[in-house]
Amino acid sequence: MTGLYAEGGYWAQHDAIAARIKAERPRTVGALTAILNTFEPPSSGVAFYNDDDGDLPAALEAAGWTVHYEARYLWEAQGPAGEWMHYVEGDVYPGRNR
CA atoms within 13 A on the CB side of 57: 21
What is the mean pLDDT for each group of 10 consecutive residues in the chain (98 residues)?
62 91 97 95 94 90 96 95 96 91
- Cα 30 versus chain centre, distance: 11
pTM greater than 0.75 (yes/no): yes
pLDDT of residue 1: 45
Q: Which range marks the domain in which residue 52 is found?
A: 9-94
Whole-number Å distance between alpha carbons of 41 and 64 = 25
Q: How many domains does the chain have?
A: 1
